[in-house]
Structure 1
Amino acid sequence: MFPAVPETALAELGRTDGDAGTLALLVRDQDTRRLLLLRAVLDAAETADPELCPAAAKARLREDWALLTAADRAGGPDSPARTRLGYPLLGPWVRRCLTGLDPQTGPPTQEQRRELACDLAYFSAVAAVAAARAGIPFAVDLTARDGILVLPSLGALRTAEQGDVRVRVSYDGSRMTLGQDTTVFLENGTGAWSGSLAWTSAYALPGLVPGAAPMPLDDLDPYRVPPREPDQYALSGPAGPDDAERKRWLQSWSGTAAVLRTGGEGRLVEALALLRCLVPLEMPPGAGSRGSCSGTRREAFGALLSSAPVTPVAFAATLVHELQHTKLAALSEMVELHRAGPGALYFAPWRPDPRPYDGLLQGAYSHLALADFFQRRALTVEPALSEGAWAQYARYHAQVRAALPALVASSDLTAVGRRFVDEMAAAHERHTAHPAPRGHAARAQEYVKAVRTLWTQRQPRGESRK
């Protein structure tokens, strides 16, 4: 069912590249997996114990699927139903539902039953939006969770009542009515207008380049960020940008495409092919004026979570970094690159903590792409900007050089993984054809050396460290 990865595509990805065809291969595979996981949710609900998923909830899921099917048929090649089902943040919803419906987790608590009921009810909102986008009239009861009804890609309604509230939603082909007194008019792409103070419209930035689709800046989706964990590297919490913050996003976003091009046209191509939404995060505490926080989620293919970008250059680098995680995660679902477990831990010069092999591979891959990006930028921009680019390139190049020996020497690599890592090493070697000025290279080497010394001093004795 899933396509094989051609050797040419594997080689391109190993170099942190990927032409339009290779990127489309990753996208198609992820979209297919999403549909299969969604089908798994519906099947799990259908066979679930009635105590966990009552008959009424099962019937409603069938009705939602029928409405989605009608929207898909009415929407043609650009079906709004497919757009909704492929939206990155529906992925965390799918995973959450599958976990909640798993009978192996034991008898559910009352709160778990309530959470699952709300999760499953969210599918009704997805189906309603798809139908409205396809111009299909309907009238359904939706659930406002904790007093907030989110209609993905349209906006959110804050109800007067607290708790989980049922809201009657209807669409007549031109406008949507929520409850008794809120009327909403759909806009093209993202957002919906309403004169009601209870309504907050979804927001999108302009397309990355002229002619590209607007990019959702999603601060409403209830599944947009993972649960907070007691980890010093956890993402910061979700942000609700005000007008000033949105202006900052727009200013940086508007210059990002031009910056990406200075690091190679391929960096812009991959951003256009892979990026589907942005999720704003709070600025990390103590980050200062140049700090940032960003990340991706394996279950949310196409989503980039980030604090407000400081400059177009900083945001372009964030895109290059995070989209490599997106590419490698997608590739890893198509082929097995290694069989390394979490036991052995390795030095990663970009982190103070030991990393398992997979974490080392992910980090080295993204840093290799950053080295490529900044080297190309250093060779193309004016001298006033090239010094900063060379400094960045030198550090990333030195960091990858420190990590590559452990990656290449691993006996846990599969044959496919071996070819992939060898391509990484070859790409790193090709960068030496255009070395950074000596001062930048020396400082980068000293930096990595100092980090390794500090890392070694911090490691407990008697554990597997490499």
Structure 2
Amino acid sequence: MSAEQSLPHHRLPPDALAELIRGEGGPAALDLLLRAERSRRLLLLRMLDDTTDLGPAWDLLSAAQQHHPTAVNDLLMYPQTGMWLATTLRRLRGKEPQDEPPLWVVLGHFAALAAAAALRAKLDFAIQVPVRHGRVPLPTLGCAMLPVSEPWATATVRSRSGQTVVAVPGCEVAVPTDPGTAGPGWHPLHHVSVGPAERRLETVLDDVDPYRTYPRPTEPRPLSEETAAHWRRTLERAWAVLLRELPETAAAMRSGLLSLTPTAARERFRPRSVSAGDAFGGIEASEPDDAAQLAATLVHEFQHTKLGGLLHLAPLLTPAPEGTGELWYAPWRDDPRPLEGLLQGIYAFAGIARFWNAHRVAPSAHSPLAHFEFALWRAQTATAIEQVHRHPRCTPLGRALLVALRDQCAQWLAEPVPKEPLALARLCADDHAARWRAHHRRPPAAAVRAAVHAWQRGASGPPASLAAEPEVVPDPSARWLDSLAVLVRYRLSATADDRRPDAAATEVTGALSGDALLAAGEATAARHAYTAHLKAEPEAAGAWAGLGRALAAENTEPTAAHLLSRHPERARAVHQALLRVTDSPPDPVRLAAWLGSPPA
């Protein structure tokens, strides 16, 4: 193919690219990403058409395109359409689980897309679509509910002269003339419009599209009207926060936040949210504690959306050499992460730090908590960047992005934060890192054996070999490493008469009694609680790390505190090895002090 015949490429001009690598990006940059995403969806659709016979659904979609191209474009750009396309192609290539739903149901979703397009184009048509556990979702419109007992079946969507029904033998559901209104057996998609007219966010609360949850599809679960109304009110308040404090981000969200999938509330201060590169513009989020938390969640996942769009245009990393499995510390995760995942987190949490920096000075903010969040996430993002900003797998664009975010973090780290939230943020950042090391770092086995022998013979310190770089070995039991930070959030948001640490500990899954005491500033009591816990459960990684933080706060055993704060994995490994050879394990503080002594 000659240069004149080559396909055009999407390109980001320097100013838009500069915005995105700084973690920003206004409406113009988002528009460029959306155009590129549209081309990508069209290519995926062509690949699917080349792979399988889409039959009458293709013809119906083509007819809808001729009559109402905007409707077809809206369906094409709907986040769940992108997720379905990518999932289906992976399924056809054997790269997705081949269990339920059956492949014919997965492929049949295209017929539901075509039916939705034809209905919006006001065409006369009839087409068979899948029934999923008694429900027939029509993307961007709603869901018909039918008395079908089989998990997977078919129904006919039929439209004549503006009258549409979804039918199975013996039953049919009429789709209202305005599909956005409820009717017998018809559950409409919740369209939401919030904010002033000139800065309005228009999106949907999607509770019915099977591909609204990421990365695995789930069956429709319609929200109650009460729950949907609660989400609308919370989104209204969150949007007001974003308009006031991050107006440029909000302006970009107006074109790039296309759907929000609500899920059930989780434990306080532990929201869950998900987005996917294949579902550009879609966010799945648990019911938030408040509007500020939802605003932060929207920023977080919108960062992933922007980075996903950028990655569809240019790589930030070169492929990993075959056979390598490098894993890194991500300060917002319990588990070690590959470089690709860490980069995603860095970009997302830079956005979180930016949000809290703006929110902490707002008149309506809960300032101590907001200051804490800013101080914590600027530090955690900087920690992650320092690990990898010179990594050899970074492309020039990847290096530029990390340098820009590193410079931004340096500016944030220079900003003043009040004393108490700053100290608590440092405590929580150090604690999370220590807990992660205690779980996932493994000192060399030979060095641990040598340390046991040295201890038993009364050597003045451990062998030098114990200081060798420990291996990263993922520990599947590592969970709730953020417990101390959650407890601190309880402390900072509590009223003066509601700060009993034992009360907060009962609310936080995974929290130890020592964690609650440490979060309350009771270092000596926390030390006693951690040592008692280790006597009962010597392998408890969190107790080893927490003991280090308690000793540091108490300032009575500096050598032991330093060792447990920096290298709790050494104490844990040597203590466990000693348990295997003696009936009287050493005192944890005494052992940590010995391990922190100069090598013998």
| Residue number in structure 1 paired with 2:347 | 365
Query: What is the CA-CA distance between 1:323 and the residue it aligns to?
Result: 0.7
Aligned counterparts of 2:391 and 2:215: Cα–Cα separation in 1: 33
Question: Which residue of structure 1 lines up, in the alignment, with residue 571 of structure 2?
Answer: none
1:150 aligns with 2:137: yes
Query: How far does the alpha carbon of each residue in 1:254-304 deviate from its partner, in whole angstroms, 9 at most, with x for none?
Result: 1122101333212212321211001122334xx14x542111122111110
For 1:170-197, what per-residue CA distance to the aligned partner results, in whole angstroms no more than 9, with x for missing partners?
A: 212422122254322242xx62442x2x
Retained in 1: the 8 A contact 2:201–2:254?
no
Match of 2:378 in 1: 397
C-alpha RMSD over aligned residues: 2.7
Corresponding position of 2:500: none
Q: 410-419 or 441-450: which moved more?
A: 441-450
Distance in 1 between residues matched to 2:218 and 2:352, nearest whole Å: 23
Contact 2:369 2:421 in 1 (8 A): no
Q: Deviations over 1:115-152 (max 9, x none)?
A: 11112222111111111111222122333233322112
Whether the 8 Å CA contact 2:275–2:282 is kept in 1: the answer is yes
Equivalent residue number for residue 285 of structure 2: 306
Tell me the TM-score normalised to structure 1 length: 0.85
Structure 1 residues 178 and 449, CA, compared in 2 at 3 Å: closer, same or farther? closer
Q: For residue 407 of structure 1, report the CA deviation from its aligned partner.
A: 2.4
**Structure 1 residues 105 and 30: alpha-carbon distance in aligned structure 2, compared to 1, 3 A threshold:** closer
Q: Secondary structure at the match of 1:279?
A: strand
Q: Deviation per CA, 1:51-107: give whole Å up to 9, x if none.
A: xxxxxxx3xx2432222222222225xx101111111111222123213333x679x
Q: What CA distance in whole angstroms lies between the structure 1 residues aligned with 2:155 and 2:90?
A: 27
Go from structure 1 to structure 2 and tell me whether the alpha carbon gap of 1:403 and 1:166 turns closer, same or farther (over 3 Å shift): closer
Moved more, 202-211 or 18-27: 202-211
Partner of 2:155: 167
Tell me, in whole angstroms, the C-alpha distance in 2 between the residues paired with 1:450 and 1:193.
51
In structure 2, the residue matched to 1:420 is 401
What per-residue deviation string (whole Å, max 9, x for no partner) do you get for residues 139-170 of structure 1? 22333233322112222222223223332322
Paired position in structure 1 for 2:75: 84
CA distance in 2, matches of 1:327, 1:41: 25
Q: Distance in 2 between matches of 1:213 and 1:80?
A: 19
Deviations 1:294-352 (A, max 9, x none): 11122111110011223211100000111111111211121111126372212222223
User: How many residues in Structure 1 have an aligned counterpart in Structure 2?
Assistant: 432
| CA shift for structure 1 position 403 | 1.4
Specify the alignment match of 1:221 in structure 2.
Answer: 209
For the pair 1:23 / 2:7, whether they are aligned, the reply is no
SS of the aligned residue for 1:273 comes to helix
Task: Assess if the C-alpha contact under 8 Å between 1:236 and 1:283 holds in 2.
Answer: no
Identity of aligned residues (%): 29
Contact 1:217 / 1:280 at 8 angstroms: preserved in 2? yes
**Structure 1 match to 2:517:** none
Q: Distance in 2 between matches of 1:207 and 1:72?
A: 30
Query: What CA distance in whole angstroms lies between the structure 2 residues aligned with 1:87 and 1:250?
Result: 20
What secondary structure does 1:95 align onto? Answer: helix
Task: Tell me, yes or no, if the aligned pair for 1:340 and 1:358 is still in contact at 8 Å.
Answer: no
The CA distance in 2 between the partners of 1:145 and 1:388, in whole Å, is 44
What's the offset of the Cα at 1:393?
A: 0.8
Distance, in Å, in 1 between the alignment partners of 2:395 and 2:156 is: 54
Structure 1 residues 213, 227: CA separation in 2 closer, same or farther (over 3 Å shift)? closer
Question: Contact (CA 8 Å) 1:248, 1:310: kept in 2 or not?
Answer: no
Tell me which amino acid in the other structure corresponds to 1:397.
Answer: R
178-187 or 446-455, which moves further after superposition?
Answer: 178-187
Q: Give me the whole-angstrom Cα distance separating, in 2, the residues matched to 1:105 and 1:213.
A: 36
- Structure 1 residues 217 and 455: alpha-carbon distance in aligned structure 2, compared to 1, 3 A threshold: same
Q: Secondary structure at the match of 1:343?
A: coil
Match of 1:140, SS state, is strand
Letter in 2 for 1:26: L
Which residue in the other structure is 2:175 paired with?
A: 184
Name structure 1 gaps, 5 residues minimum. Answer: 46-57, 229-234
Task: Write the mapping of 1:184-203 to structure 2, written as runs, cut at 5 A.
Answer: 184-187=175-178, 191-194=180-183, 196=184, 198-203=185-190
Pick aligned residue for 1:12 from 13, 19, 29: 19
Q: Distance in 2 between matches of 1:404 and 1:100?
A: 35
CA contact (8 A) 1:219 1:280 kept: yes
Change (3 A) 1:297 1:393: same
Alpha-carbon distance in structure 1 between the residues aligned to 2:186 and 2:158 = 16
User: How far apart, in 1, do the equivalents of 2:82 and 2:46 lie?
Assistant: 13
Decide whether the 8 Å contact of 1:262 with 1:376 is kept in 2: no
What one-letter code is carried by the residue in structure 2 that aligns with 1:118?
Answer: V
Which one of 100, 124, 127 corresponds to residue 137 of structure 1? Answer: 124
Offset of 1:226 from its aligned partner? 4.0
Determine if contact 1:295/1:322 at 8 Å carries over to the other structure: yes
Look up the equivalent residue of 1:35 and give its one-letter code.
L
- Please say which of residues 317-326 and 368-377 is displaced more in the overlay: 368-377
Q: Given that residues 210 and 220 in structure 2 are in contact (C-alpha distance below 8 angstroms), is that contact kept between their aligned partners in structure 1? A: no
Contact 2:194 2:239 in 1 (8 A): no
Which stretch shifts more, 407-416 or 314-323?
407-416
Q: Partners in 1 of 2:300 and 2:438 — Cα distance?
A: 29
Q: Distance in 2 between matches of 1:278 and 1:208?
A: 16
1-structure distance, mates of 2:379, 2:166: 57
Q: CA shift at 1:217, angstroms?
A: 0.9
Q: Which residue of 2 aligns with 1:52?
A: none
SS of equivalent to 1:336: coil
